[in-house]
Amino acid sequence: MLTGIKAFALEVVYPQKTMTVISSDSTFFIGSSNPNLPLTVNGRPVKVHRTGAFAQTVRLNNGKNIFNLESGEEKLIYIIDRPLPLLNLQNQQSCLKEYSAPVSAFTAKDGAVLRQTPVDSGINRLAHFQKDIPLIIDGENGDFLRTALNSTTKAWIYKGDVQTAGNSAPAALKNYERQDNAEFYIFNFDFDKKTPYIIQEGNPLKVTFYNTAGNPDLTYVFEFPLTRKLNGYSGRFEGSGFVLKIRKYPASLSGLKIAVDAGHGGDEFGAAGCLGDLEKNINLAVSKYLEEELTKRGASVIMTRTGDTDLGLQERVLIANENDAGILLSIHANSLPDNADPNANRGTSIYYYYNQAKPLADSILSSMTQKLGTRDDGVRQGSFALVRNTDALSVLIEVAYMINPYDNELLRDRNFQKQCAKAIADGIENYIKSE
Ligand SMILES: [Zn+2]
């Protein structure tokens, strides 16, 4: 007997309201009904999974769309309004304005993002600056200022993150020291003031300091040859000194600090599954099994949340970094936008942002798809807060799809959740051994 299902009443989980507005050429109904009765949407049969879960894509015409859902005696009517596409009146062609003379400025807040292009999206981040990093501004484009790092390198920073003023005279490197410890290679660069920098992953790991006196094109490049895969690093100013920490490669899972982040929580439900279950609860269940499994194998686990609590994205990253985690795993279950098909999409996918985390993502994905039998939904680079962290190898795992009836049954199953934790732990162990 199937447990956990209230009764086989016809229930729709998405769209949430019987009258709603959706600006897309298609959407879907997600919900549950009695699997022993035929279900129809506007007279057309819909496949009902053995758990009662269903997902059905429907096309939307401009204006009002009426949908009749029928299962036995039960009947629901949904009216979805698709508004006419708005004409883009703004048609704002942003364009580059170059200044006749450069202007001195400095970053006005911590976490100011230095970008390759004047756009707030995609994979274009070059650095996350702390407050008070001096910059030379030589142009602007839309909401962004262009900074000249040296004679050939330009980068972009959001106007609101910068204050014009100050002194952009070159910094001087006074001294340099190396002080490794058991966990890190540590380099201290003693500057007389802060200066812009970019860290580039690769072998060697490269830190380029700009606007530094006594160097060709005022540019000083520090290189650290790696003997093993890059495995977490940080570079930040402490006062006027720059501290570069490169994490040593772990010998085994034993003693390794791993942060496990159960996505969403509290008022943030995440996605809703066909049978009405909430992503936040499934994420937490998988995360707790993961804590148990990793602890059993000798890792030291830091949980960002252990209950149904609200927690900001930056807070989660901070918890991982303050506890010096070497790996950060954010656990989620997937959903889809209106114009996608919830029956066609299922399986496990893993996101990373920095290249150093890709081999770990690959290893966890192959372990999960092999051991759980979930479809390989790919390893992708994505700009999510939880993976835009270099201190730890940071990956976001979409275990399976909440809104796919097949995946939804797996996600609700305690045994699957346990096996999932084992498969993730195996993936981490395989990654460590692969060196
Ligand atoms: Zn999520």
Mean pLDDT, rounded, for 1-19: 77
pLDDT(367) > 90: yes
pLDDT(2) > 70: no
The pLDDT of residue 8: 76
Q: In angstroms, what is the span from residue 385 Cα to ligand 1's centroid?
A: 12
Q: In angstroms, what is the span from residue 382 Cα to ligand 1's centroid?
A: 13
pLDDT(91) > 60: no
Q: What is the pLDDT of residues 381-420, one digit of tens each?
A: 999 999 999 999 999 999 999 999 999 999 999 999 999 9
Q: In angstroms, what is the span from residue 271 Cα to ligand 1's centroid?
A: 6
pLDDT(195) > 70: yes
The pLDDT of residue 88: 58
| Of 419, 303, 289, 404, residue with least CA distance to 367 | 419
The pLDDT of residue 385: 95
Q: In angstroms, what is the span from residue 172 Cα to ligand 1's centroid?
A: 46
The pLDDT of residue 90: 55
Q: In angstroms, what is the span from residue 428 Cα to ligand 1's centroid?
A: 21
The pLDDT of residue 4: 47
Q: In angstroms, what is the span from residue 369 Cα to ligand 1's centroid?
A: 19
Q: In angstroms, what is the span from residue 334 Cα to ligand 1's centroid?
A: 6
Q: In angstroms, what is the span from residue 313 Cα to ligand 1's centroid?
A: 12
CB 160 within 8 A of CB 107: no
342 pLDDT band (50/70/90 cuts)? very high
Q: In angstroms, what is the span from residue 139 Cα to ligand 1's centroid?
A: 38
The pLDDT of residue 122: 85
Hey, how many other C-beta atoms are within 10 angstroms of the C-beta on 2? Answer: 12
Q: In angstroms, what is the span from residue 229 Cα to ligand 1's centroid?
A: 29
Mean pLDDT, rounded, for 172-183: 95
pLDDT(275) > 60: yes
Q: In angstroms, what is the span from residue 333 Cα to ligand 1's centroid?
A: 6
How distant, in Å, are the alpha carbons of 63, 184, 200, 323, 414 from that of 191? 63, 21, 20, 28, 55
pTM of the model: 0.92
The pLDDT of residue 167: 79
| Of 237, 240, 127, 236, residue with least CA distance to 173 | 240
Q: In angstroms, what is the span from residue 116 Cα to ligand 1's centroid?
A: 28
Q: In angstroms, what is the span from residue 269 Cα to ligand 1's centroid?
A: 8
Q: By mean pLDDT, which of 5-9, 41-45, 143-147, 425-429 is the weakest? A: 5-9
% the chain with pLDDT above 90 = 93
Mean pLDDT, rounded, for 363-378: 98
The pLDDT of residue 1: 43
Q: In angstroms, what is the span from residue 246 Cα to ligand 1's centroid?
A: 30
CA distance linking residue 25 with residue 405, whole number of Å = 22
Q: In angstroms, what is the span from residue 311 Cα to ligand 1's centroid?
A: 13
94 pLDDT band (50/70/90 cuts)? confident
166 pLDDT band (50/70/90 cuts)? confident
Q: In angstroms, what is the span from residue 398 Cα to ligand 1's centroid?
A: 8
Q: In angstroms, what is the span from residue 321 Cα to ligand 1's centroid?
A: 21
Domains of the chain: 11-82 (2.60.40.10), 97-164 (2.30.30.40), 173-247 (2.60.40), 257-433 (3.40.630.40)
Mean pLDDT, rounded, for 217-244: 96
Identify any residues that bridge with 7 across adjacent strands, giving them in sequence order: none
The pLDDT of residue 345: 96
How distant, in Å, are the alpha carbons of 10, 12, 271, 352, 413 from that of 55? 13, 10, 14, 29, 19
Mean pLDDT, rounded, for 144-157: 96
How distant, in Å, are the alpha carbons of 265, 292, 302, 382 from that of 319? 16, 19, 8, 21
Q: What is the pLDDT of residues 54-87, one digit of tens each?
A: 999 999 999 999 999 999 999 999 999 999 876 6
39 pLDDT band (50/70/90 cuts)? very high
Q: In angstroms, what is the span from residue 1 Cα to ligand 1's centroid?
A: 30
Q: What is the pLDDT of residues 289-335, one digit of tens each?
A: 999 999 999 999 999 999 999 999 999 999 999 999 999 999 999 99
429 pLDDT band (50/70/90 cuts)? very high
pLDDT(6) > 80: no
Report the chain's mean pLDDT, rounded to a whole number.
Answer: 94
pLDDT(7) > 70: no
Q: In angstroms, what is the span from residue 68 Cα to ligand 1's centroid?
A: 30
